[in-house]
Structure 1
Amino acid sequence: MNREIHLVKRPEATPTHEHLNIVEQSNPKPEEGEVLLRTLYVSVDPYMRGRMSDAKSYIEPFQLNEPISGGAIAQVTESRSEQFNQGDIVTGALEWKEYSVADEKSLRKVDPSLGPVTTSLGILGMPGLTAYFGLIDIGAPKEGETLVVSGAAGAVGSAVVQIGKIYGCRVVGIAGTKEKTRYLTDELGVDVVINYKNENVAQALEEACPNGVDVYFDNVGGDISDSVYPLLNKFARIVQCGAISSYNTPNDQGPRIHMQLIKSSALVKGFTVGDYQERFSEGFQHLSKWLQEGKLTYEETIVEGFDQIPDAFFGLFKGENLGKQLVKVADPE
């Protein structure tokens, strides 16, 4: 039998085990142009919380009593496709199943020469591309500017701070544990790191940004972002990537920032990485080059076991992960 993880109840606040259920189904069979896949790694990501709601959004919600889906790495165990052979390692948006069937057009081969296969879900995957396009296209960083990054030790944030350093920015990162602050300072070269759990963020930001803020890459929203807005410089750019602090808080409200935006002539733009799909090859080219040159590094938090997927997902909202959160389901054959 094939195990799957279904959404069985829509959460109104923080999701728990009552909202997900592991069920057993018969093994699927591929048809012409399809492949049978054995899941190796599953990515859990904050955006999935939004898809658990049926509110209007940029993407269709997960359906009740159906498998959740997201980025995954898998191995082809049976192929009825001319593009893939048995044994190929591929990545794509796959359902949370131990075995799944996918159309050949929805997959791409993982190039092992670029790095470990898990990088296709991290620095060379959706998080890396999100960091690249958000910062380069919207943030437009310039040498000597001050870049502030919230959620700086996460999969996206840790890539953003490094790209900011590549572009010559003075980088201020915000994170929530001593381990994360040490990682950002000692390994990623962030100029100043603020621990929002034991520091006054507004005061710490004023001290860390004496010349104001030119680019704010926002992954969390909420009170942290409220502390950044008063420091915006003229023509500052705000990259609105995420708002994890509000995902589990219905009708979350904050201060009105319109006057601050007017005074600073700041740009605020929200985005999802799918907005840049036609330019993915550009992103892959830059990210892989920087990785090979040693200008980019990455961290992964990996737990093992298909049944650990829900807890790994829940842990995102507690800040348990350093870098990319993955679940290892199986070893390749």
Structure 2
Amino acid sequence: MKTKRILLNSRPQGMPDESNFEFDEQEISGLEEGQLLLKSLYISVDPYMRGRMNDTRSYVPPYKVNEPITGGIVAEVVECRNKKYKKGDVVMGNLPWQTFILSDGNGLTSIDPDLAPLSYHLGILGMPGLTAYCGLLFIGEPKEGETVVVSGAAGAVGTVVGQIAKQKGCRVVGIAGTDEKVAYLKNELGFDEGINYKTTSNIKEALEKACPDGVDVYFDNVGGSFSDAVYTLLNKYARIVVCGQIALYNSTSRPTGPRVEPILLTKSCLMKGFIVSDYADRFGEAAKELVSWVKTGKLQYEESITDGFDNLPEAFLGLFKGENTGKQLVKVADRSIQV
């Protein structure tokens, strides 16, 4: 059997492009004892992957040039010589970008295909949902009547953050990149206000109008000038949850903005960055509540699904152009074994 693979061809300078990826095929030999053959069904593309394309030290090792890119994948067990799994099982793990994957079973998590659509396990019931839940509730600690601002609000994390904040009785303001996304946030997800940063000439003035009582919680997925504008509206004891900085991921120089320390000092604000794995011991309670909210309709969920393994690079690059609403995924195949 042959598997298609996508390798990191070169490290990007600034914004990545198609030349940074390389396609090839590799032979897969027969299974040895303890191994299983996986067929990729859904593959996740996420902004954090851009950092792994650089040869810099971070919380996860960088990708290696001429080796497959890895990320979250939902896959089906199509052949099995591993006692923990059987043919037809559905699993999830951090796996290489391949159509078929030979695995020893380590690092895989079994998925109940009847719990929710399989793609949800890479989105609202997976890393993005857990990130939104843990970051907002354990760092932001929103209280009824407070104002919560979310940048990157129409993305996989931002959409969940805003909805949870509404459940906590907060006024929620989302920043997104199109009028359609702003309308979706307000009309479908219940955000109180939305700001299209691409068509708003003065973000600070727009935020002042949308947040007449200031900002108590800022969930930051973007960074850059958006955050500079929010900082000026922080209330005393405000909490800033630093989840992502996508506005800066493709910078080739170190940008300099307003110094935030005087604001943090005089307003007694908390600013905390986090990686979702910091809260691994809370995943059980978070997942249980997220599943409950999805099943009861308290959480709405949007996906942007691109079809075809060959379109993975295009879907990834689209993240930095704001092309997705909700979680961006690539569908590689349907399940072939029904059990």
Do the structures match in fold with TM over 0.5? Answer: yes
Gaps of 5+ in 1: none
Confirm or deny: 8 A CA contact 1:28 1:99 kept in the other structure: no
Secondary structure of 2:305 counterpart: strand
Structure 2 match to 1:15: 16
Show CA shifts across 1:102-134 (max 9, x none).
232311122233211110000000000000000
Return the alpha-carbon distance in structure 2 between the equivalents of residues 32 and 172 of structure 1. Answer: 54
**Matching of residue 319 in structure 1 with residue 322 in structure 2:** yes
**Matching of residue 280 in structure 1 with residue 280 in structure 2:** no
Return the alpha-carbon distance in structure 2 between the equivalents of residues 12 and 252 of structure 1. Answer: 15
Q: Following TM superposition, by how much is the alpha carbon of 1:297 offset from its aligned partner in structure 2, in angstroms?
A: 1.1
Structure 2 match to 1:219: 221
Return the alpha-carbon distance in structure 1 between the equivalents of residues 164 and 261 of structure 2. Answer: 29
Matching residue's letter, 2:232: P
Gaps of 5+ in 2: none
Structure 2 match to 1:172: 173
Q: 1:69 to 1:28 in 2, by over 3 A?
A: farther
Structure 1 match to 2:120: 119
Matching residue's letter, 2:312: I
Matching residue's letter, 1:102: S
Structure 2 match to 1:246: 248
Q: Following TM superposition, by how much is the alpha carbon of 1:100 offset from its aligned partner in structure 2, in angstroms?
A: 0.6
Q: 1:33 to 1:254 in 2, by over 3 A?
A: farther
Return the alpha-carbon distance in structure 1 between the equivalents of residues 158 and 324 of structure 2. Answer: 12
Return the alpha-carbon distance in structure 1 between the equivalents of residues 248 and 272 of structure 2. Answer: 18
Return the alpha-carbon distance in structure 1 between the equivalents of residues 335 and 6 of structure 2. Answer: 21
Show CA shifts across 1:182-217 (max 9, x none).
110110000010110111211010111111100000
Show CA shifts across 1:46-77 (max 9, x none).
00000000111111000110000000111001
Secondary structure of 1:238 counterpart: strand
Q: Following TM superposition, by how much is the alpha carbon of 1:28 offset from its aligned partner in structure 2, in angstroms?
A: 5.0
Return the alpha-carbon distance in structure 1 between the equivalents of residues 35 and 183 of structure 2. Answer: 46
Structure 2 match to 1:79: 80
Q: 1:23 to 1:186 in 2, by over 3 A?
A: same
Return the alpha-carbon distance in structure 2 between the equivalents of residues 105 and 190 of structure 1. Answer: 41
1:271 alignment partner, one of 266, 270, 274: 274
Matching residue's letter, 2:161: V
Structure 2 match to 1:202: 204
- Aligned pairs for 1:157-196 (under 5 A) are 157-196=158-197
Q: 1:178 to 1:28 in 2, by over 3 A?
A: farther
Confirm or deny: 8 A CA contact 2:90 2:113 kept in the other structure: no
Confirm or deny: 8 A CA contact 1:114 1:292 kept in the other structure: no
Q: Identify, as 1 or 2, the structure richer in helix.
A: 1
Matching residue's letter, 1:188: L
Return the alpha-carbon distance in structure 2 between the equivalents of residues 187 and 2 of structure 1. Answer: 40
Confirm or deny: 8 A CA contact 1:94 1:102 kept in the other structure: no
Segment of structure 1 superposing worse, 29-38 or 126-135: 29-38
Structure 2 match to 1:148: 149
Return the alpha-carbon distance in structure 2 between the equivalents of residues 63 and 268 of structure 1. Answer: 33
Secondary structure of 1:14 counterpart: coil
Show CA shifts across 1:117-171 (max 9, x none).
1100000000000000000100011111100000000000000000101111110
Q: Following TM superposition, by how much is the alpha carbon of 1:31 offset from its aligned partner in structure 2, in angstroms?
A: 3.5
Q: Following TM superposition, by how much is the alpha carbon of 1:315 offset from its aligned partner in structure 2, in angstroms?
A: 0.2
Q: Following TM superposition, by how much is the alpha carbon of 1:83 offset from its aligned partner in structure 2, in angstroms?
A: 1.7
- The size of the alignment, in residue pairs, is 333
Segment of structure 1 superposing worse, 43-52 or 248-257: 248-257
Matching residue's letter, 2:179: K
Matching residue's letter, 2:77: V
Return the alpha-carbon distance in structure 2 between the equivalents of residues 281 and 82 of structure 1. Answer: 25
Return the alpha-carbon distance in structure 2 between the equivalents of residues 256 and 79 of structure 1. Answer: 56
Return the alpha-carbon distance in structure 2 between the equivalents of residues 83 and 326 of structure 1. Answer: 28
Q: TM-score, normalised by structure 2?
A: 0.96
Q: 1:320 to 1:29 in 2, by over 3 A?
A: farther
Matching residue's letter, 2:181: K
Return the alpha-carbon distance in structure 1 between the equivalents of residues 22 and 277 of structure 2. Answer: 29
**Matching of residue 230 in structure 1 with residue 215 in structure 2:** no
